[in-house]
Every structure is written in structure tokens, then in C-alpha cells.
Structure 1
Amino acid sequence: MKLSAALRALCTAALAAALAACHAPLTQHAAANDKPASSPARAALDSLPVHQAGTLSGYDRIDKFGTAWLDTTSAPGARNGCDTRDDVLFRDLSQVRFRDGSTCVVASGTLLKDPYTGRRIEFVRDRGSSGSLDIDHLVALGDAWVTGGRALSQADREALANDPLNLAAVSASANRQKGDQDASTWLPSATGWRCTYVARQIAVKKKYHLWVTPPERTAMARVMDACPSQPLPTENDPGVVLKKK
């Protein structure tokens, strides 16, 4: 039996539509698989709770986070007989010299490339240049307080304040400019360190069960999306772990 031209055309169109329907999901599935996977740091960001910031009421740096640079906390590298500030100076500076008779107190050294400004900074204790360097809390303690730190134990807050993961030797002027701001309102002017900076903040917030605010999460995601292979820093990473003296 011969089919009319119209019927043959109708059958051909129906067959083409059926084949297209069969192949469409495969094409869509392949396209979905082509999307790059999130970096470990971005995945960690996605796991953080998102809430509005609390208030600073009740916040006191010494009362809530301990005397500065305690060596008696549970932070990694603590209880080595040296205060945390000198531990971080020894880790981050080059050409370090200790004060005479001490294996703890850093007398001088060079920050070859400040993470916040990219500048070289010379440090000499007890001279004017010593004020050019600060040890910064990457997650500022005020920010930690309003994003869950209030609920931490005293021991955990003191560990957070002295954890090498949350500390870096940086330009004092840049640190003062930053203050207690989070990533939504302040990032280092040295753009090459922004991925590490934000990844370290994410790692600290994850470790200490802190949350991020909606604007902070948006800003962090924007930075992380520019660093598709950014790992999540850990306490054992070079550049984080304290050096042995």
C-alpha cells in the first residue's frame, strides 16, 4: 500500500520529534556535567549558616577573648613558651633575629610582601618601624562576636583569638582601616591575596561554628568564584602552621 505524500511527511515529522525528545535530556545532562565543580573553599562557604549579624552588646576584647596573645589556650601551637604574637612574627617574617638571650621575642625581620598591600615592610622592635606591623585577626573578633562567637565557650573564644589559621602579620595602617569589617565591606587592596584571605575566613568560620551574613556570603562567593581551584586552608598548611624554633 502506498502512502500519500502528506501522510509520509506527517510520519517523518513525528519520527524527527520523537528522536529529538530522546536526545534532549542527554544533551541537557551533558551540559550540566560541563559546569565546573565548586572548589573546596567555595563548598565550605556553601555549608556555612547564613543569618543577620547580632549586636555588639556584651563584647569586650579582653573579657570575652582573653588577654592578647595568650600562650595558654587550646589553639594549635600554643603552650610553647612564646606568646602568639611572636610566634606569628617568626612564621611570617624573613631574616628574623631574636632579642639577645631569647628564643621567643622577635627583635627584627622583614615582611617581604604584605598580604594586604603588597608592600615590603621592615620590622624592628621598640623602634618606630615596629608600629608598621600588626598581627591581624582575619575574622575580626568583633565580627566573630556578632556571628556566633557570643555563644562559644570562653576557652573556644580564646583559641579563636590565638589560632594561627586566623592570624597574619600585616600592614598596621591597612589593619586599622579594616577594623571589625567583614568581606562585604573590606578586602585587601593586594588583589592577589584575596582568594587566600577569604578562604582563611571561611575556614575559621567553619572551624568555630560561626555564621556569615547575607552580604558577607555574597561578597565571599564573588571572590571564590574567581578562584575555582581554591583549597580550604587547614591548620597544617604551609603559611598557617607555626614554625619550630
Structure 2
Amino acid sequence: MTLTWAEYRRAQRRSRQAWVLLTAAAVALVAGLGWFFTAGQFAVVDAPADGPREAPVLAAGWMNAVPSVRPVPPGPAAGLLETLQVKGRAAQDNYDRSAFGQAWLDADRNGCDTRNDILRRDLPDAEFTEGSRCVVAAGSFREPYTGRPTTFRRGAASSKAVQVDHVVALGDAWQKGAQQLTAGQREHLANDPLNLIAVDGPANQDKGASDAATWLPPNKAFRCHYVARQISVKAAYRLWVTPAEKEAMMRILGSCPGQQTIAAAAQ
């Protein structure tokens, strides 16, 4: 069978199109395999399932907001960061935990101490000790600092596996403005649900009194919320940041420019 010149050209054009499609499919397959073996199968830390990208402040119906020095303004966290004072640390040699009042008071006056309030808030399946409506006996949750499923069980040896962390560490706050607060304001800072999250005990110990310049959660998916929460707490209690701390916060927020401030009223 003899093809005409027009038929020959059409067949040639279809052949080229077929090769283009095959080449594109091959490139996509190679790229997909490359992603899987270099990142995809190990992309755990940044996946939403690894831990909450947000953490609650209040639980409706039984938690109350703790009065801060001033309200946290709504809006981008990066914008609020620009309003914070930037200067060096004050001396820490006179720091004493007692300056922030008795640990785990019932600051929101709901009848339960702050530590159990936070455990109940952050552990969705929290169980109480027999005869109590406050004391959390056990529970499990997706821990935010590491992103790992974690179980809490009350006990002399086991309780420390899950700790309640001050997002802005009290030692850090002391060096950045808390010395100028009243005793009552420092007490609120130490018990404000805005500044508290149930977390992995070893991660909390590793953090210590560090700020964002020297420690960030290993779970990268939580870092934007973590930094925004620190900024919100510092704004609420008129605390400042160091130049290195501000730089670290700006770097984190650069990956999430839409990150908003965190406030109890928004819950």
C-alpha cells in the first residue's frame, strides 16, 4: 500500500507526538522514584499526621482564660514580632522559680489545678483517677514536640514521660522583662494556658530555659505554631526578644507567612 505525501506527513507527526508523550511519562516516573527514595519514604517530620500544626489554648465549657498584662492582637505573627522590644538578656543570677508563685495553681478558678487542666485539654482520651473530676490518671495523644504517639500514665516513675512545658520558659521570661511584672502578673504567666503545652518529657528537658535561637521542636511541622505562640506570650506579658532570637523567629515564620498569632479568645 502506497501512502500519499499528506498521509505520510500525518503519520510522521503522530509518531513524534507519541514519542513526546512517552518521554514525558518516563521523566515523571524517574522524578517520582527519585522523590520516593530520597525524601518521600522518609518525609515523616513535616507531614501533618506527625503532630498538630496548632495546639489549643482553652477547652470550651470548663477552662477559663487567665488575665494577661494585655490582650494578644489578632493578625500575622510576623507583624506582632516587629512590635516586640529587641535587646539583650538581663541578669539571671537572682532568678528563683518562687518569683512566679506556687506551681500549678488553679489560676482560672475552675476548681482544678493548672497541670491537670493542661493534661485534660491536650489528651483527648484523658481518664481521671477514681472519684476525681480533675486529676488525670492516663491518656494518649500525638505529642507536638516530637510528633510521636505518646501515652501518659500517672505514677512516681511514669509521670515524667509527659510534662507540661512553659512555651516561654520562666527562666527566659525572667531575663526578658518578667522582673518588671508584678507578682500576680508573673503568677498568671506561669499558669496561663496560652503558655502551656503537654509535651514529651525528654524533649522538654532538652529545651530547658532555651529561647527560639537555641532550641526548636524536633517536629518541624509544629515550629510555626510554636514560634507564633512564643511571640504571642511575649506580647501578652510585655517581654522582649534578643536579636538572635528575633532572627530565628523570622526565619521560621518565613516558611509560613500566613501564620497567625495565638490567643485564648480565638479558641
Task: Give the Cα–Cα distance (whole angstroms) in 2 for the partners of residues 204 and 197 of structure 1.
Answer: 11
Could you give the per-residue CA deviations for residues 158-211 of structure 1, whole angstroms, max 9, x where no partner exists? Answer: 000000000000000000000000000000000000000000000000000000
Query: Which aligned pairs between 1:33-112 and structure 2 lie closer than 5 A?
Result: 40-62=76-98, 64-71=99-106, 73=107, 78-111=108-141
Answering whether residue 242 of structure 2 is matched by residue 213 of structure 1, we say yes
Could you give the per-residue CA deviations for residues 61-81 of structure 1, whole angstroms, max 9, x where no partner exists? Answer: 02x00111011x3xxxx1111
- Alignment root-mean-square deviation, CA: 1.1
Query: Which residue does the alignment assign to 1:231?
Result: 260
Q: Which amino acid in the other structure matches residue 41 of structure 1?
A: A
Could you give the per-residue CA deviations for residues 14-53 of structure 1, whole angstroms, max 9, x where no partner exists? Answer: xxxxxxxxxxxxxxxxxxxxxxxxx610000011000101
Could you give the per-residue CA deviations for residues 65-117 of structure 1, whole angstroms, max 9, x where no partner exists? Answer: 0111011x3xxxx1111000000000000211111111000011112x11111
Task: Give the Cα–Cα distance (whole angstroms) in 2 for the partners of residues 131 and 205 of structure 1.
Answer: 27
Task: Give the Cα–Cα distance (whole angstroms) in 1 for the partners of residues 102 and 158 of structure 2.
Answer: 24
Task: Give the Cα–Cα distance (whole angstroms) in 2 for the partners of residues 86 and 202 of structure 1.
Answer: 25
Query: Which aligned pairs between 1:1-245 and structure 2 lie closer than 5 A?
Result: 40-62=76-98, 64-71=99-106, 73=107, 78-111=108-141, 113-126=142-155, 128-238=157-267
Query: Which residue does the alignment assign to 1:27?
Result: none
Contact 1:122 1:129 (C-alpha < 8 Å) held by counterparts: no
Query: Which residue does the alignment assign to 1:31?
Result: none
Classify the secondary structure of the residue corresponding to 1:47. coil
- The runs of at least 4 aligned residues of structure 1 exceeding 4 Å deviation read none
Contact 1:184 1:216 (C-alpha < 8 Å) held by counterparts: yes
Shift of 1:127: 5.7
What is the aligned-residue identity percentage? 51
* TM-score, with structure 2 as normaliser: 0.71
* TM-score, with structure 1 as normaliser: 0.77
Q: Which runs of 5+ in 2 are unaligned?
A: 1-74
Classify the secondary structure of the residue corresponding to 1:59. coil
Contact 1:88 1:135 (C-alpha < 8 Å) held by counterparts: yes
Classify the secondary structure of the residue corresponding to 2:163. strand
